[in-house]
Chain A
Amino acid sequence: MKDERRSFESNWMRSIVDAHAADLTRYAASILYDADGAKDVVQDVFLRLWQEPRANVEGHVLPWLFRVCRNRALDVRRKGGRMKRLDEASAERAATDAPGPETVTEQQDSHAQILQMMQALPENQQEVVRLKFQNGMSYKEIASVTELTVTNVGFLLHRAINTLRARVVASGE
């Protein structure tokens, strides 16, 4: 029955949406720096998923979703032009500005600090760091999302972690 199949597919979709929509939105937002734009991107991603034969994605839905999401978000960012990554902007700021009078308020906890340091990394490093530590992906999965080689991913992560370690040590002194 078509209806049954549809409802079956629907339930499958729904479970995937429930499981990943929020993560994908956050990921898209990290590229777009626009929470609402991110939701639109994610909806597009799920539309694509509907069009994709299920057999093609089953078993690796997560990296598939993130890859499509990443491409779509990068597309939107390219077209939109208006959106700017938080990291780019804050890197600029870090480069040009002396600490302002409100720096004190920024000295929150170490979690916020590490995220701030992370935002000073090159974009490709930030991306793998995020996929690894926020989305818990393996090197392989990250490679599939970013269309890099596994070795490349390992290298980027390694560099990122070393840089962050050095900065944490420096900030503690």
Chain B
Amino acid sequence: MKLLPEDPRLTAYALGEIEDQQERSAIESAVAQSTELQQAVAAIRDMSELLTKGFAAEPIPELSEFEKARMGQPTATRERSGGSRILSWPVLSSVAAVLIVAFVVLPQRSALKEDFAYQAEPRKEDFADQELPIESLISKLQIAEGISAHDDEIHAELIESSPFQAIARPNVKPNELVELRQSNPRRSVIAPLLSMIHSEPPVMPKPAAMRTLAFRKITPKQARELPATFNTEKYAPIEESGFRSPLVAALSTFSIDVDTASYANVRRFLNQGQLPPADALRIEEMINYFPYADAAPTKSLDEGGAPFAVHMAQTIAPWNKSHHLLRVALKGYEMPWEERPSSNLVFLLDVSGSMNNANKLPLVKEAMDLLVRRLDARDRVAVVVYAGASGLALPSTTANNYDTIQHAMDKLKAGGSTNGGEGIQLAYKIAREHFIDGGNNRVILCTDGDFNVGQTNSGDLTDIAEAAADEGISLTILGFGMGNYKDDLLEALSNKGKGSYAYVDSSAEARKVFLEDLTGNLFKIAKDVKIQVEFNPAQVNAYRLIGYENRRLKAEDFNNDKKKAGDIGPGHTVVALYEIIPATVDSDVPSVDALRYQEVEAKSAPGEVATVKLRYKQPDADVSQLITRTVNSDEWVRFDATHEDVRFSAIVAAFGMRLAGSEHLNGLSYDAIESIAASSLGIDPGGHRSEFVGLVRRARELSTADTPMPVQPHGTSQE
């Protein structure tokens, strides 16, 4: 038999794929007679091995027990009576919300520097100058709303857009307007969590309203100024923080943020073919969306273990080789399900007409069902619904009474208009009546965006949430809905309510929220977690916290236990990144003159870049505990040599900065971002990082696209 190395049969032979025995021995003898063929066979086998190993190194999607159970179900709508359904809790560990704080240190040589290394006292309030004057806020709002400065028109617009009757009161002053805009929690978007249960094709929801934000070929910065007449989505303005000299502001103080909503929302925009508006980009939420492998504490809380571990890393900023990045990551204890505290859960469900959609109420019910099946006699569940009238659909019931709960849920129907005001009060009332000391007391608000609360005004609603949080009742918001999505309100409400806020843009996200992140969203292991970093001017010319713009605290709030801050749940990872300009690098960050009347005693701390301090309280404690860590100048690692989690969190920040049109990014291209992200995937459980790479590509396409997206005419939004 004559055989050439180019013959496909040789490959088949080398791979053991020749079934016919005669043919196989013919090839065998041909190979035996030719060293060329032998080499070819060996090379094919080498390549086969290489490919097998290469593929084996590719991350395999992690499916939770629930997902597998769901896949094994005979129907999409699944019957409830079959006892054979296997549902076990996914291990709590899969939730990692990471806070990334990036500091950039600018090296600035000034005469002052040597004298004030590590001042004993901060001389100036840290972020005072970052608060925008009210006038500026108003003008921004007006621009954003496309309304004029005339009071009458402001009122008219408010009346039109607000479901709160009270907002229509005749004399809204400009500063009240600001307050309403910032804190109005009237809408919450919660719904799509449930779509995970349905087996419909994974087509992203594309309500017409989503397409109404058309930004054409304009930068996100311009987009911010674009009169948003196309759409009624609302975002609070985000002012990116600039570099500060430690001589001007030695302390950087902020509250942790475990929310992930911003990333899901950004993804929705990109998948809809639009670049997101700059104000929709909360970079910390983008970073914290992803699971990271930072080690969690291993000792259980009952044995006195710490609620979270602190990890720090320094590297070079991928967008500026002369700048450093400091990554501070907190990783929550991965509480096993059996260790969870008893739960007193009150679901507050929007059953208004708009919820009457296969992707909404039925999904909410399914998700609740999943949850209830995992609870037991230690736990209580109640359901409050609101629509035309609010009511108690299920009195607080221990979770082992599954049939009772099931029956109540089956009766839930969507219909009527929304009136959530009484609903939320009723929900909190029930939660209070069945309060479990030391337990997990929580109201879970599920709505599709029309959270129309009949409170006298929006401030009242946040007040209610805040007061309840003080009593120990947290508020978790699960939002879905598009077009009239009120991101600012929901975020403000969940912050006041001390709970997490997740935005569900797809059945996939529902899956993440209800499966991967559920315990993180449902329980807390520490509360009022604050971070304060003091930079050493001897090492740091300037620094910049990346993201967390609306989580800043005053320096003096750090030690004030009355000042609230964010909570952290089991398995959460919270990452914060600082971009740092080292002292050896010049910068034009503004400095101040030496103080004439105060003597600041400098402490010599050679080699120390910064001191990171964390304060937190146990879930039921009033007094905080302090953790202090020092960051040394010799502890940095080259970017390409640092851990993939460090690289990935940095590149997510870069992506957010790129989308926001940040001047600090130094022109780092989408291609470079994509390439770094692609090389930082790690094991990528859940495939979220791979998806991110796809989004970067999408953003690049959108930013270079020649044809603008069609602009949807005003007034076609779906709601």
Contact = CB atoms under 8 A, between A and B. Distances in A.
A6 B60 contact: no
B87 to A, nearest CB: 12
B133 interface: no
Contacts of B70: 43
B423 to A, nearest CB: 31
A53 interface: no
A21 B63 contact: yes
A118 interface: yes
B676 interface: yes
B90 to A, nearest CB: 14
A46 B639 contact: no
Contact of B687 (A36, A84, A161): A36
A42 to B, nearest CB: 6
Interface in A121-166: 129-130, 132-134, 138-139, 151, 154-155, 157-159, 161-162, 164-165
A108 interface: yes
Contact of B202 (A34, A46, A108, A155): A34
B12 A139 contact: yes
Contacts of B672: 100-102
Nearest to B680: A105
Contacts of A33: 690, 694
Contacts of B694: 33-34, 83-84, 86
Nearest to B57: A111
B71 A134 contact: no
B176 interface: no
Interface in A65-121: 75-76, 79-80, 82-84, 86, 89, 93, 97, 100-106, 108, 110-112, 114-115, 118
Contacts of B165: none
Contact of A161 (B48, B82, B204): B48
Interface residues of B, number: 75
A14 interface: yes
Contacts of B56: 134
A47 B75 contact: yes
B55 A130 contact: yes
A6 B716 CA distance: 48
A125 B387 CA distance: 56
A26 B52 contact: no
B633 interface: no
A97 B671 contact: yes
Contacts of A37: 202, 508
Contact of B690 (A9, A29, A75): A29
B71 A35 contact: no
B74 A50 contact: yes
Contact of B675 (A18, A102, A154): A102
Interface in B27-63: 43-44, 47-48, 50-63
B54 A115 contact: yes
Given A25-B63, A40-B508, A133 B55 contact: yes
Contact of B679 (A36, A105, A110, A164): A105
B54 A105 contact: no
Given A36-B506, A38-B61, A105 B640 contact: yes
Contacts of A111: 50, 53-54, 57
Q: What secondary structure prevails in chain B residues at the interface with A?
A: helix
Nearest to A47: B199
B625 interface: no
A146 B212 CA distance: 40
B650 to A, nearest CB: 11
A140 to B, nearest CB: 8
B72 A13 contact: yes
Contacts of B71: 17, 21, 42-43, 46
B61 A35 contact: yes
A120 B686 CA distance: 25
Contacts of A17: 68, 71-72
Contacts of A57: none
Range of interface residues on chain A? 35 or more
Nearest to A16: B72
A11 B84 CA distance: 9
B11 to A, nearest CB: 4
Contacts of A97: 671
B60 A114 contact: no
Contacts of B63: 21-22, 25, 39
Interface string B2-29: 0000111111100101000000000000
A114 B687 contact: no
Given A22-B60, A133-B51, A6 B84 contact: yes
B671 A39 contact: no
Contact of B508 (A26, A39, A84): A39
B571 interface: no
Given A103-B675, A154-B17, A43 B199 contact: yes
A103 B9 CA distance: 37
A41 interface: yes
A2 B639 CA distance: 61
A157 B15 contact: yes
A134 B10 CA distance: 21
Nearest to B671: A100
Contacts of A82: 204, 271, 273, 698
A44 B286 CA distance: 30
B201 A25 contact: no
B679 A106 contact: yes
Nearest to B674: A93
21 contacts: A6-B84, A22-B62, A36-B512, A36-B687, A37-B202, A38-B61, A44-B201, A50-B74, A82-B204, A83-B694, A102-B318, A102-B679, A105-B675, A110-B54, A111-B54, A115-B58, A118-B51, A118-B54, A134-B52, A134-B55, A158-B7
Q: Which 9 A-B pairs have the closest CB atoms?
A: A35-B687, A36-B508, A40-B202, A134-B55, A158-B8, A158-B11, A133-B51, A37-B202, A114-B54
Interface of B: 6-12, 15, 17, 43-44, 47-48, 50-63, 67-76, 82, 84, 86, 199-204, 271, 273, 318, 506-509, 511-512, 639-640, 647, 669, 671-672, 675-676, 678-680, 686-688, 690-691, 693-694, 697-698
